[in-house]
């Protein structure tokens, strides 16, 4: 049971980091386009 919870936590962490990375990249690109 603990192994399943650890695996779910690992997948959630990977998805969260990917979503946050894409959001930050999109936000920074929007700021750059506004400055031009």
Residues 9 and 33: their CA atoms lie apart, in Å, by: 36
For 6-28, the DSSP string reads HHHHHHHHHHHHHHHHHHHHHHH
Q: In this predicted structure, what is the pLDDT of residue 33?
A: 75
Task: Note the pLDDT tens digit of each residue in 10-29.
Answer: 999 999 999 999 999 998 88
Pair of tokens at residue 3: 């192994």
Please report which helix (H) or strand (E) contains residue 2, including its range: helix 2-35
Which is higher by pLDDT, 19 or 30?
Answer: 19
The confidence band for 5, taking pLDDT boundaries of 50, 70 and 90, is very high
Residues 3 and 11: their CA atoms lie apart, in Å, by: 12
**For the chain, what are the domain ranges?**
1-30
pLDDT at 36 over 70: no
pTM comes to: 0.59
């Amino acid at each position: 049971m603990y192994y399943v919870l650890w695996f779910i936590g690992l997948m959630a962490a990977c998805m969260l980091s990917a979503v946050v990375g894409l959001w930050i990249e999109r936000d920074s690109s929007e700021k750059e386009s506004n400055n031009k």
